[in-house]
Structure 1
Amino acid sequence: MSDVTEIDVRDLNSVRRAAKKDAGTPDVVLGDDWVQPQGVGDNELAEGRRKRGLYNLRKSPLARKIITFNLIAMILLIAGVLYLNPSRDNLAYQRANGLVNEAELIADVLEARMPATVPVNLMTGDGIDVVETLEQMDLRGGIDVVVFDADGTLVASAVGAADVSSISGLNRNESDTILTDFLASTWNGVANSFRNIFGDWREERGGPDQDAVLSAMNMGTSVQTQNDASGTTFVVITPVMQGDSPVGAVAISSAAGELDALVRREREQVLRLFLVGIFISVGLSLVLASTIANPLADLAAAAELGRDKNARKLSPTQVRIPDLTGRPDEIGRLSGALRGMVQALSERIEGNEQFAADVAHEIKNPLASLRSAVGTMRVATRDDQRERLLEVIEHDVRRLDRLVSDISNASRLDSELVREQEESFDLLKMLGNLNEFLGKEARDKGIEYIADIPEEPITVVGLEGRLAQVFVNLITNAISFCEDGDAIRVWARQRENRVLVVVEDTGPGIPNEALSKVFQRFYSERPEGQFGNNSGLGLAISKQIIEAHGGVIWAENIRPTEADMTSEPLGARFVVGLPV
């Protein structure tokens, strides 16, 4: 004979546990155990996942924000590199320094060919033939060499060869600068529009003027920078000395656009690196967006499926939040929180349904008794019978009034526990006041009342009025079950970070099968003489209040040490544990 799982039809959780225990009976499924075969909600979620790819991320505002901000960061980085990069200044310094060395070297060659004592005239060729000397020099790099006499008059000029490919090991990277040229042409187009309005601020390229030549003869070597349409050009002027007297000057101009070509090639490499970085950034942004936007879209879609779509009927599908708790990030936490919230909401709905069913059941009993008493009164002929029926009606009316009041208090309890502000208070002082008031009631009934409360205060944080309601309920229950000659003991002790408050009595105890049921709503285990005097909500409300304060409450029977569990109990004990 197989074991039969005990089911309390008034407790949905009992039905749930029975369904889980009996795996061979899959007919009873509730809450998260329920699976909708080929449900509409599951189909919609699966269809939404199929439609969400990397390409469809363009429709996600979150994905667009991720990509946009990553691109902005990359653009600002590259713009800062191009703007703050000192390579152009370094190249300009190196090129100008090289031209100074070349100019001074040419001047030294001319000085070496001059006689030491004979007067020299560069214009007439007395003492040195400047043209022949320049022709004999192997000038390179596309430089322009100009020689002036002592009066600043042009004597001779020469142009260096631009081709250096014939020199072994000296090769220049002549790669295309497509990106740089495109940006330069765009910038020039914008700049030209402003030049048409404000005029051209660029200098016209030309050789060194006479004043600059004369100044160099008196002051020494000088460097000038010229900007024109072809780019930046450096002009170096150095004097040609015979002894201590200047007899002329040598001016060297760099090749037009030489420096700008070098800068363009360097910027081209940076821009290509930037372009590769853009593709990588967009790719990684898409991957990142897919790991964030898609799970969030699944969570949002699952939540949207559970809402009322047409405002006229509830959604037929159950909200089933995707399980993403395996992710070690905020999305995993959000998934777990949503699943917990949905589960709590489902349990709350089940609890409300159960509460409504229990209320209807409990109200039907006194109503049936009232209807029976009223119907019987119509045919009752004797006064004692009518008096007895009136007593029954009065008892049922009081029972209904008490039941409705307790139901009203229980239904408002959740909102009041959330709305009321918790405060610190002395738990033992509150218990002392209750013992003083309720102890008198117990002694009037012939019950010995013992209060064992420590002298040191114990401070807890909570709603003093609600916790007082719990202990009043426990003590009055003990009084109602005790008779003349019984005893009640209320004691409290602090255990590390918790305080235990115990209410014991020497009454009839609690049936073993009822120990797990006494905290259920509308459950009442009363003697026959007390039938109808309690709604069965007191202990359920007490349990709800204690758990809202982060505490625990349980019931047990008092038995002698090492006594048989089947023996008669010596009384009942209710234990309340609260955090300190």
Structure 2
Amino acid sequence: MRKSSLVAKLLGTFTIIIGISFIITATVLSFWFQDYHFQQRKDQLDSEGKFIATAAISHLNQQKEDTLDELLGLMNFVSKSMNADILVTDYRGIVYAVTNSQDSDLIFTKLDITAMDLLQKGQPVEERNVKNKSSGRTEYIYYKPMFLGNQFSGVIIMVTPLSQIKEPLKKVYTIIWLSAILALILSSIVIYYFSEKILINPLGKINVAAKRIAKGEVENRVYINSNDEIGELAKSFNIMADSLEEVEKNRREFISNVSHELRSPITSIKGFIAGILDGIIPKDKENYYLTIAYDEIQRLARLVNDLLDLSAMEAGKLKLNISKIDVNEILKHCVINSEHKIKTKKLKVDVVLEGDNLYALGDRDRLIQVITNLIDNAIKYCNENGNLKVITKSRGSKVLVSVYNDGPGIPEIEMKYIWDRFYKSDKSRTNKISTGLGLPIVRHILNLHGEDIWVENKTVDFGVTFTFTLKKI
């Protein structure tokens, strides 16, 4: 596992967080258990001290030998059971009974008890870290006051080596800290396992797929069965891959279409010129074939210009010169310019304009290009002696321009493709006169104006109307 990998960073982060949590928990438990253990010791000493207090008060009242022996016997029993040295003093602090023979020199000696004021008020006192000067050991001392009625009668002093009390705590501390370490190791393993399964492996799949797509394998997809953010990322990745595959498909189709559109006229031009140069074509036919070559060159020029226009529009580099225009005047101009094509197909043209003038906002040159393309498209698909109709009308804040021809209807399945580059509904009829770029250019120009264009069939079999909008003035 690399130090810089995501799983290493996650594992390290979570391990530190959990480790700190366990350390804090173990420390709190250690202090809590220590306090609990000392409290338990205090409660035991206090409970046993009650029996000693009863015997001591009885001895103080009777002052007999047998009561002293009874007191000493009880003190020795408690001392052995609690493993503690016990001393008993009177109300002045003078020792009169001990359990440890080494403390016998303290009998009839007055002890300097610093907490005597608290004891006289009936409050037990404990001291946890008292250094014994003679033995050098650290001791735990518990002072229990004795009362006869409301009268302070003396003190029971119980002394226990601190190491003896803390011995059981060491085992508890060991268990607590070992448990914390084991829990830390176990949680790290669990985090590593689930990080690999839930996060690292899915991200690895996405990473591998991304590298393959970068190498051109755009058909690669990621399949992750998850409803969380990773699953959403995989879905988004697949959507991106679909888009890239579509872009790649369009790119290949574009190159193929451009190659086809260029190859056909270039082949014709090459053949005609080669025939003239080689003398295969008779002299009287040279002008005829040169005219055909010229038409093919014109077709190539239209194709290149259309491609340049479309590329500029798609790249957002085409700047519009928006101004006030007369839509009716532009329509008349475009129809007159198409007069030769109209007469060639013997079409009946009906121009229906709203008013003498109909003003809108737009780029005059680009809108002439739009209307010309729509009229040319209508002429192409009209049958001989067919009908062509151009209409302008206003509706609210919009000017609507419609171009109708009574040629064959557009099949419903092809409606969504007519705006694609190089798409030709009738390839056999339009191969020589259409580049398949006219309608895409029309739509891009109108999109740049912020306007819409749509197409409708009059019936299933014939009649097609293209309609676009402009902002009315």
- TM-score tier after normalising by the smaller chain length: 0.5 to 0.7
Cα offsets for 1:158-193 (capped at 9, x unmatched): 26xxxxxxxxxxxxxxxxxxxxxxxxxxxxxxxxxx
2:184 to 278, 282, 299: 278
Structure exhibiting the larger radius of gyration computed from Cα positions? 2
Aligned-partner residue type, residue 240 of structure 2: M
Q: Which residue of 1 aligns with 2:333?
A: 441
Percent of matched pairs sharing the same residue = 20
Q: Does the 8 Å contact 1:488/1:504 carry over to 2?
A: yes
In structure 1, the gaps of 5 or more residues are: 1-56, 121-125, 160-207, 309-314, 422-429, 458-463, 560-564
Indicate whether 1:115 and 2:14 are aligned.
no
Q: Matches of residues 433-512 of structure 1 in structure 2 within 5 Å?
A: 435-436=327-328, 438-442=330-334, 444=336, 447-450=350-353, 475-480=371-376, 481=378, 486-489=388-391, 503-509=402-408
Is the contact made by 1:237 and 1:250 (CA closer than 8 Å) also made in structure 2?
Answer: yes
In the alignment, the residues of structure 1 paired with residue 270 and residue 191 of structure 2 have an alpha-carbon distance, to the nearest angstrom, of 74
Q: State which of 127, 144, 147 in structure 1 corresponds to 2:88.
A: 147
Determine if contact 2:23/2:180 at 8 Å carries over to the other structure: no
| Counterpart amino acid of residue 142 in structure 1 | N
Compared with structure 1, are the counterparts of its residues 392 and 219 closer, same or farther at alpha carbon in structure 2 (3 Å cutoff)?
A: same
Structure number with greater CO (CA < 8 Å, separation at least 6) is: 1
CA distance in 2, matches of 1:396, 1:525: 22
Give the corresponding residue for 2:251. 352
What's the TM-score, normalizing by structure 1?
0.57
Q: Which runs of 5+ in 2 are unaligned?
A: 101-109, 340-348, 380-384
Secondary structure of 1:503's aligned partner = strand
Code of the aligned partner of 1:398: Q
**In 2: Cα distance, 1:221 partner to 1:515 partner:** 101
432-441 or 250-259: bigger deviation: 432-441
- Are 1:213 and 1:249, in contact at CA under 8 Å, matched by a contact in 2? no
Q: Which residue of 1 aligns with 2:342?
A: none
**For each residue in 1:8-59, what CA deviation from the matched residue of structure 2 results, as whole angstroms up to 9, or x when unmatched?**
xxxxxxxxxxxxxxxxxxxxxxxxxxxxxxxxxxxxxxxxxxxxxxxxx678
Aligned partner of 1:10 in structure 2 is none
The answer for the alignment partner of 1:201 in structure 2 is none
C-alpha deviations, 1:469-502, integer Å up to 9, x for none? 6x866643343335998422367989xxxx9978
Alignment of 1:275-424 (within 5 A): 275=181, 277-278=183-184, 280-291=186-197, 292-305=199-212, 307=214, 320-324=220-224, 326-372=225-271, 374-375=273-274, 392=292, 394-416=294-316
CA shift, 1:146, in A, is 1.0
SS in 1 for 2:82: coil
Distance 1:545 1:281, change over 3 A: farther
Conservation of the 8 A alpha-carbon contact between 2:141 and 2:159: yes
The one-letter amino acid of 1:287's match is Y
Q: CA separation of 1:436/1:478 partners in 2, compared to 1, >3 Å: closer, same or farther?
A: same
Q: 1:298 to 1:399 in 2, by over 3 A?
A: same
**Which residue of 2 is the match for residue 82 of structure 1?**
26
* 8 A contact 1:235–1:254 mirrored in 2: yes
Change (3 A) 1:145 1:436: farther
- CA drift of 1:72 comes to 2.7
Is the aligned partner of 1:135 residue 2:73?
Answer: yes
- Output one character per residue of 1:50-81: Cα deviation in whole Å (capped at 9) or x when no partner: xxxxxxx6788233333333333332222222
Report how far residue 249 of structure 1 moved: 3.2
Distance (whole Å) between structure 2 residues aligned to residue 90 and residue 235 of structure 1: 17
Distance 1:390 1:330, change over 3 A: same
Determine if contact 2:388/2:403 at 8 Å carries over to the other structure. Answer: no
Distance of aligned partners of 1:79 and 1:547 in 2 relative to their CA distance in 1, 3 Å threshold: farther
Name the CA distance, whole Å, in 2 between partners of 1:476 and 1:112.
Answer: 129
- Confirm or deny: 8 A CA contact 1:551 1:576 kept in the other structure: yes
8 A contact 1:226–1:233 mirrored in 2:
yes
2 CA distance for matches of 1:59 and 1:79? Answer: 25
C-alpha contact (below 8 Å) 2:393/2:400 kept by paired residues: yes
State the Cα distance separating 1:269 from its structure 2 match: 5.2
- Which residue, out of 126, 133, 137, partners 1:224? 126
Greater percentage in strand: 2
What letter corresponds to residue 82 of structure 1 in structure 2?
A: A
Where do residues 139-218 of structure 1 align in structure 2 (5 Å cutoff)? 139=78, 140-148=81-89, 152-158=93-99, 210-212=112-114
Once residues 103 and 83 of structure 1 are traced to their aligned partners in structure 2, the CA distance between those partners, rounded to angstroms, is 33
Amino acid at match of 2:372: T
CA distance in 1, matches of 2:232, 2:306: 39
Q: 1:62 to 1:491 in 2, by over 3 A?
A: farther
Whichever structure has more helix as a proportion of its residues is 2
Task: Give the match's secondary structure for 1:210.
Answer: coil
Give 3-state SS (helix, strand or coil) of 1:155's partner.
strand
SS in 2 for 1:212: coil
CA deviation digits over 1:400-433, x for unaligned, max 9? Answer: 22211212233455443xx999xxxxxxxx9995
Q: Aligned to 2:200, what secondary structure does the other structure show?
A: helix
- Alpha carbons of structure 1 residues 109 and 525: separation in structure 2 relative to 1, 3 Å: closer
- How far the C-alpha of 1:133 sits from its partner, in A, is 1.8
1:235: how far off? 1.8
Kindly tell me: are residues 72 and 131 of structure 1, through their superposed partners in 2, closer, same or farther at Cα, counting changes over 3 Å? farther
Q: Which amino acid aligns with 2:97?
A: A
Q: 1:413 to 1:241 in 2, by over 3 A?
A: same
Maintained 8 Å contact 1:60/1:293: no
CA distance in 2, matches of 1:88, 1:63: 39
Query: Structure 1 stretch 526-535 or stretch 292-301: which is displaced more?
Result: 526-535
Question: How many residues are aligned here?
Answer: 423
Give 2:6's aligned residue.
62
Q: State the AA in 2 paired with 1:439.
A: L
SS of the equivalent of 2:270 reads helix
Instruction: Please give the alpha-carbon distance, in whole angstroms, between the structure 2 residues aligned to 1:239 and 1:375.
Output: 132
Q: Which whole-Å CA distance do the structure 2 matches of 1:136 and 1:527 have between them?
A: 121
**CA distance 1:398–1:226, change in 2 (3 Å):** same
Could you tell me which amino acid in structure 1 is paired with residue 143 of structure 2? I
- State the AA in 2 paired with 1:299: I
Whole-angstrom distance in 1 between the partners of 2:413 and 2:46: 107
2: distance between equivalents of 1:576 and 1:389? Answer: 40
Report the CA distance shift for 1:246/1:527 in structure 2 as closer, same or farther (over 3 A).
Answer: closer
Shift of 1:265: 5.1
